[in-house]
Amino acid sequence: MNIYDATIPVFTKFLNNLDRWFDKAAALADAKKFEIEVFAASRLAPDQYSLTRQVQSACDQAKFTVAKLTGTEPPAFPDTEKTVAELRQRIKATVEYLATFTREAFDGAEDRSCTHAWMGGKSLRGVDYLNHFALANFYFHLTTAYGILRHNGVPLGKMDFVAALPFQR
């Protein structure tokens, strides 16, 4: 399996799921007569990132992972989103960026050295970076965004998180 298969389709699917959760959030806000922007500042604990930062972080993890694994520079997203509409645009921009990658762009990604400043001069092989950090971090922020919305009454269930499965015929 090419690392493309574990990144582009997976990140794209789950970011699109995240975007659809905002449809349910908007419906709840409309039904209960409150501004949807209430969700943007919501968090599960006082010392935890808000929904806004969770969405930004999930998008960042997807774009940085793909960039590191392909040896390319990711686009800069300035973290200025304040509204749900802006968060949805961030998700869309990330999905559009992911769509620019081909399977061939990931050739050699398994052994490509991946590092960040926080790694203190250390690095991980691409496959280890993906499996031991990037996917876990992506799902952490995605799950926390789900939890924030669910905690605030948005009627989400497991299938909203998992969504369509790539069944074989």
Domain segments of the chain as ranges: 3-161
Q: What angle do CA 76, 78, 81 make, to 5 degrees?
A: 135
pLDDT tens digit string along 95-137? 999 999 999 999 999 999 999 899 999 999 999 999 999 999 9
CATH of 3-161, one of 1.25.40.340, 3.90.1170.40, 1.20.120.450, 3.40.50.2300: 1.20.120.450
pLDDT tens digit string along 38-88? 999 999 999 999 999 999 999 999 999 999 999 999 999 999 999 999 999
Q: Give me 45's structure tokens.
A: 């604990």
- DSSP H or E run through 124: strand 124-125
